[in-house]
Amino acid sequence: MSTGVNALLISPAARDALQTWLDHQRALKGAAENTITAYQGDVIDFLAFMTLHKGDSQGLGALARLTISDMRSWMAKTRGPDVGPRSLARKLSSVKAFYRWLAEREGFEPTAVLSTRSPKFSKKLPRPLAVDAAKAMIDCVELQSRHAWVAARDVAVLTLLWGCGLRISEALGLKGADAPLPDVLRIVGKGGKERVVPVLPAAKDAVDAYLRACPFPQERDAPLFKAMRGGPLAARAISQVMMDARMQLGLPATATPHAMRHSFATHLLDAGGDLRAIQELLGHASLSTTQAYTAVDTARLMEVYNSAHPKAAR
């Protein structure tokens, strides 16, 4: 549990309850560590606010008696220049998840918290790159470093994002034991969900080229992709090299590592790929999430559905 200033404002009982809930999310729900960290920060900030708002440390009994007015006060205080409606909605979602669990365990009615409405915001649709732009991005990234092995590394990472639909965290999570890359990779994604991803020859070749050029030894349990001094490669390094490349290519700020994954889905679907199969390759829990990753219009989606659905194809 964090020992930040806000954490010190929370009652021991509330702190213990929060830690128990986080352990539950980690062990039983399979929540990723990034999700756990976000939950922890959001709920700690909420509980600390309630302590200051009420003028007293909030034990579990007091937390069970929060009102809609208390919730509105928290939302008004939290919303600010650095916290937009999207971030506030995420924080409220974290608080509601904690309260559902706490109410069930302690036997109280969490209506005031759960009935609090999330602020409205417009969802940002993903912006995949066109095929030519994705190719140009990889070619340009190769020119960004004076070190040949770093250039080969960056090309390999981007090729995995675009060619295999990996998240940046999944690509950077590969270990030395994963090389040379097999025909299929078993990837453990968000929430501990495992999926099988075919590896294109181009991705194999790119990783092999990186391995031949890399000056550091590969250890089975160490990260496959190395930073300049041999440590684990950070996602921000790939984000930076893509930012430099997109400025040279005149591409928008949406040309990020995650956009390469978006492009994987869009280009497969646009070439006639099955939406369900793409869902499996991306590791999405719901088909609607996969649909949001694609940049095809409704007419194209209907064409896919009509050609694939047995009732339509007659």
Going along the chain from its start, the domains and CATH numbers come out as: 5-114 (1.10.150.130), 131-308 (1.10.443.10)
pLDDT of residue 236: 92
In contact, 308 and 273? CB cutoff 8 Å: no
In contact, 61 and 23? CB cutoff 8 Å: no
pLDDT of residue 9: 79
* Catalytic residue IDs: 167, 190, 258, 261, 284, 293
In contact, 114 and 96? CB cutoff 8 Å: yes
pLDDT of residue 81: 73
| Token pair 């194209």 in the structure block, residue | 300
Q: How many CA atoms, within 13 angstroms, populate the side-chain half-sphere of residue 180?
A: 11
| Calpha distance 195→215 (Å, rounded) | 31
pLDDT of residue 314: 45
Q: Where are the alpha helices (DSSP H) in the chain?
A: 5-8, 12-27, 33-54, 60-63, 68-78, 85-106, 111-114, 131-141, 148-164, 168-172, 201-213, 235-249, 257-270, 275-282, 287-293, 298-308
Residue ranges, the chain, pLDDT below 70: 1-5, 29-30, 121-126, 190-191, 265, 267-314
pLDDT of residue 193: 73
pLDDT of residue 68: 93
| Calpha distance 95→43 (Å, rounded) | 6
| Calpha distance 56→92 (Å, rounded) | 22
pLDDT of residue 131: 81
pTM of the full predicted structure? 0.57
Chain-centre distance of CA 6, in angstroms? 26
